[in-house]
Amino acid sequence: MKERRSKKEPGKRGKPSRSFKKGGHDNRGARQAGSRADSKRAPSSTRPSSMAPSSPSGSSPDKEKIRLNKYIAHAGICSRRDADTYISEGKVRVNGAVCTELGKQISPDDRVTVEGQKIEPEPFVYIVMNKPRDTITTTSDEKGRRTVMDLVEDATGMRLYPVGRLDRNTTGIIILTNDGDLANRLMHPSYKVPKVYEVETNRELTDDELSMLRTGVELDDGPAKAFRVSRHPEYINVVTLRMHEGRNRMVRRMIESLGAEVLSLDRVGYGPIQKKGVRTGRWRNLKKKEINELRKMVRLLPLEHLERS
């Protein structure tokens, strides 16, 4: 196991890498396969009133109507934009009839299928997990490897999707939700949602190399840069990168372009969400304030609006 070196005593071996210290199968939370969250409460959820049961007799039917693409997005299938694609391609049926009308308004009692699968709106659930090593950021894996869904699905009983991906051996926070609109906007580079990574390298990076990370390095798929770079206050071979983009293995490739090796990579921040307080392999529900901060960053209305609509 490679260890971090102390900045104060360059010749002395420091504390072991945090991702090795608490990650993987040795962590108690990971062994419990996520059947328990840090909080014993059931996952919090937000159910927009537009998905609520029909109002009592006498209420205006118009108030119960909801756009078809919004209904599909609330079922956790995809974003509204992708729902429009499903509709225009004739893959959506309402009460058994193919519907290709964009902007179609439906009632909560209507039966909707997408590609033959009946869908129903679900309460929105928002979770932040501290992903351990040796875990795949997908909903399933054909090779039988452990996925993030193995750590939360049994406990939540909900069909959630990871927002973006972390490499198999990258640790740190990842958001899981069935809110398709929010998930797709968080992943879109145009919204520049910041992600913060702590990177442990096999050697100390020079000031010139840190400057190169700020100004940009050339990768196979184009230039890449961090908009903020800083050294760890204690360990000389650990740097913090604040990123807006999230291309495949981007941080690792940036470090490798400098001729250095990444020993551990840990995502410690995602927008306003911080890893602190969430143990490796465990998860917690996002607070309403945190959800609204995320929604504001990607120009979505706060939850209160959904509850009133």
Task: Pick the catalytic residue from 26, 82, 141, 167.
Answer: 167
Pairing mode, strands 13-16 and 222-224? unpaired
154 is catalytic: no
Tokens coding 248: 């495949």
Tokens coding 23: 């990650």
Burial of residue 71 (CB within 10 Å: 0-12, 13-18, 19+) is: buried
Tokens coding 221: 């798929």
Q: How far apart are CA 196 and CA 140, in angstroms?
A: 26
DSSP states of 172-236:
EEEEEES-HHHHHHHH-GGG---EEEEEEESSPPPHHHHHHHHH-EEETTEEE--SEEEE-SSBT
Residue of 222, 227, 215, 123 lying closest to 177 (CA atoms): 123
Q: How far apart are CA 265 and CA 198, in angstroms?
A: 6
Catalytically active residues, by annotation: 167
